[in-house]
Chain A
């Protein structure tokens, strides 16, 4: 197992390099002069030239890439000019907040989505199946940012069950109960779409598995139907559900940007949008590379989980 994890980690290196190249190339497409963007259009040519030199922008592209990559590997993602702070520090701090939001959402959508899909498949064409199918359709069609706004309106403004926005109360203790009450609405709003997608896929994966011969064997043994569904069928269906969980984790992680805007959540998505509007390129670059790298590592964890689940995968 340790060997397999190591092998997967090594195989991630070209992917991570590819990601850095793609981000670098995208950022190199920026029209105009970053130095002018930083200094504003009233900057003197001397200052622009100096800043270009400081940023290393006078060097050829390939050389610039390797300098950038080398610095990143040493933990130097550059400095954000709009925040006047090291990019990595800012990204790490914001990423923590995003991770709390997206992580909670991911757990929610996995559990709810799989449960809904299993129930739906086990009761195919029954009332529960139709109700879930409709709810899923609604869930995957509603924009998460609109849903978030409506949730604020109903549960925060009208019913006053939860705070309107933010991660922590402005006054008062920053304890777990405060976090949970701030987290509930955004985490739910973020989870809805992914829950729908996972429920859909779980349903069809379960239907596929329930037709297999080994399900008939389990029934012929006299195993209770509950166990047939939740033990035999779900275990086998997980083999095709888990890769989708990996994909959905990416959607939740990056879809957090909308929810962070709606709920004023101090996450990395909101940081990126602010940075884009302020043309703080180094902050965008660093944030994107960091989050994408974390996502690649997460997907390795998904592969490892898959190999633990399925003994037929050679590790």
Chain B
């Protein structure tokens, strides 16, 4: 609870709302004690005195009554009526909602049908109907406004109650023989109160407005008694000649409702856990780049070469070093595998190349990615955009989430083509069909008009590949493209990628956690752990003689067919949290060969540049592996 108030206080606008509201309420409470003129005494000799005139700070109205005094009394009345309506609506609505949600079944059905009916009315119309029946008057306006808000509370509270009514602690209370009334009072109610508070804080402003509105129409408070709405209503006839009589009550309503809305937003933000983590911020078109160290020179002349790449996630005051200095390069027609557990930084490495890491919270803090000699990190948006999809294309995991659900696959393919080659739609469509054929989708002419949800997982991933091929890129970065697919489909997709590589001379960076896939497809492989490459080299060499203990343990996790019964070795422990990496080897805590020297200093990646390079001071040898 104190955390809640701290969050509320941190929100400066909400605090301002709280202070203003506090002042208004205080003044309203003190009104009877203040030395004010009688709000209802008419004095026609002093009609329409302007503000700041003697004896009437805010002037007088059409009957010569002191506006300041009327404003204070009116505010008092409006606040009282608005809050009363909110409390009545919240209490009755919550009671109805709890009963419907707690008992469920038929009770729920009947009640919620009624609530739906009431909600089918345009809001104010229902209030008008109720006032029409009860007759004009402030009390009746209060009843009407409370009544039309009951369905809103009932529906919200019911939703929460349904969730609670099926929780274990409620079942436990039932089994212990508690009565329904007691369960509701002790188990359900405490859990729905925060929801009631949020709903009230967001609606009380409305209710003050609505009662003021009814009074404005002449259906609420009746003369001589006046709330803010009826003051405004009476002033309307003198709007043009004496606007101050309208402005005074109008501005007061505005101040009150605005303060309540600010406060309500603050309460909602403080209680909504999603906003606490800052999760509701949207990624920008390109990843933020904040490189403090000098940009490294291109190391070799590969098609794409990444040097000392560092990418961090900055969440509040924590820094997660997702990628901590990665070097990679890929040649035309080559397939490079990046392998590692989830969270090892392999996807973030791949996404950093084209500035696709979600930012905030992602920031590229160092290194370079040279494509044909040009650094992509920190390149202007327009440059990156023209390269994305055209020269460097991506294939993602889980095509159901990565394809747009509301456009046909054809539209999405056509868009990919036209993003870089402005061609007429019909022509692009022909190209899209041929793309679908090239990834071996049967009936491409018909399938082009399907939506993603109408296709199978394998077909969707073929569409994803077709989209990546749309502009004949040089490099395809495939981020676990087969992880969401079953094994036979996986094999088909892999052989398709392999064929495309041979036919078109594509360079592929293939990200996976599966050594079987690496063996099948990749020329070279890089093993990542805690944001760094721990071993890299030709696939055959690494598969036959892994030098890093992590690589060998990772390979031991892969079950093999026809190898008889073998104990599948899970790696004990978990990868280290990348916001708090240990000195030295990040794998030390899980390594069976760990020595004190492993934890003293940073360990470089060493080995022949064309052979197997490893980040380990006690690498595995053939003999040590046999004993492991």
Contact = CB atoms under 8 A, between A and B. Distances in A.
B232 interface: yes
Contacts of A27: 129, 132-133
Contacts of A92: none
B197 interface: no
A141 B258 CA distance: 5
Contacts of B419: 221-224
Contacts of A284: 128-129, 132
Given A19-B120, A239-B406, A275-B132, A257 B388 contact: no
Contact of A311 (B218, B281, B451): B451
B281 A207 contact: yes
- The SS class assigned to the B binding surface is helix
A221 B389 contact: yes
A138 B205 CA distance: 13
Interface stretch (A78-86, A107-115, A289-297): A289-297
B129 A222 contact: no
Q: Which of B122, B131, B218 has the most CB of A within 10 A?
A: B122
A140 interface: yes
Interface residues of B, number: 82
B136 A143 contact: no
Contacts of B247: 150
A232 B122 CA distance: 32
B588 to A, nearest CB: 35
Contacts of B393: 220-221
A217 B402 contact: yes
A15 interface: yes
B135 A31 contact: yes
Interface in B261-283: 261-262, 265, 279-283
B236 interface: yes
Interface stretch (A56-64, A169-177, A248-256): A248-256
B561 interface: no
Given A15-B116, A29-B133, A235 B406 contact: yes
- The SS class assigned to the A binding surface is helix
B213 A258 contact: yes
B415 interface: yes
B246 to A, nearest CB: 5
B122 A254 contact: yes
Contacts of A73: none
A150 B261 contact: no
Interface stretch (B289-297, B379-387, B498-506, B539-547): B379-387
A142 B401 contact: no
Contact of B404 (A218, A279, A296): A218
Contacts of B280: 204, 207-208
Contact of B133 (A30, A215, A222): A30
Nearest to B121: A292
B209 interface: yes
B283 A211 contact: yes
Contact of B236 (A124, A149, A223): A149
B491 interface: no
A124 B402 contact: no
Contacts of B132: 26-27, 272, 275-276, 281, 284, 288
Interface stretch (B180-188, B249-257, B612-620): B249-257
B118 to A, nearest CB: 7
Given A254-B123, A261-B216, A157 B240 contact: yes
B261 A141 contact: yes
B66 to A, nearest CB: 21
Contact of A153 (B239, B389, B467): B239
Contacts of B123: 250-251, 254
Contact of A220 (B121, B135, B258, B356): B356
A143 B243 contact: no
A214 B358 CA distance: 13
Interface string A224-243: 11011000100110010000
B196 interface: no
B285 interface: yes
Contacts, number: 233
Given A141-B261, A207-B280, A216-B356, A311 B136 contact: no
A158 to B, nearest CB: 10
A124 B209 CA distance: 30
A152 interface: yes
A160 interface: no
A18 interface: yes
A217 B120 contact: no
A263 to B, nearest CB: 11
A236 B402 CA distance: 13
A272 B117 contact: no
A23 interface: yes
Contacts of A275: 132
Given A150-B250, A217-B396, A276-B128, A235 B407 contact: yes
Contact of A222 (B125, B281, B387, B451): B387
A204 to B, nearest CB: 7
Nearest to A220: B394
A45 to B, nearest CB: 23
B406 A216 contact: no
B122 A292 contact: yes
B25 to A, nearest CB: 17
Contact of A22 (B121, B394, B396): B121
A254 B125 contact: yes
B518 interface: no
Contacts of A258: 213, 216-217
B420 interface: yes
A129 to B, nearest CB: 11
Contact of A219 (B130, B388, B406): B388
Contact of B254 (A143, A250, A281): A143
Contacts of B440: none
B407 A23 contact: no
A225 B262 contact: no
A210 B250 contact: no
B213 A212 contact: no
B251 to A, nearest CB: 8
Interface in B326-362: 351, 354, 356, 358
B134 A221 contact: no
A124 B283 CA distance: 10
B98 to A, nearest CB: 23
A66 B170 CA distance: 45
Contacts of A152: 239-240
A167 interface: no
A18 B120 contact: yes
A145 interface: yes
Given A141-B205, A236-B405, A225 B389 contact: no
A273 B122 contact: no
A198 B296 CA distance: 48
Contacts of B356: 216, 219-220
Contacts of A211: 279, 282-283, 358
Interface in A75-123: 121-122
Contact of B213 (A145, A214, A288): A145
Contacts of A299: 120
Nearest to B147: A26
18 contacts: A18-B113, A27-B132, A31-B135, A121-B282, A141-B261, A143-B212, A143-B213, A143-B232, A146-B246, A211-B283, A254-B123, A273-B128, A276-B128, A284-B132, A288-B125, A295-B120, A310-B406, A312-B451
Given A141-B257, A218-B415, A273-B128, 16 more contacts: A18-B120, A31-B134, A137-B261, A138-B258, A146-B232, A164-B240, A207-B281, A220-B394, A222-B420, A223-B419, A225-B285, A251-B122, A253-B122, A253-B125, A257-B124, A261-B217
Q: Please name the 10 residue pairs, one residue from A and one from B, whose CB atoms are nearest each other, closest first.
A: A254-B122, A222-B389, A146-B250, A18-B117, A254-B124, A210-B282, A141-B258, A222-B388, A250-B122, A221-B389
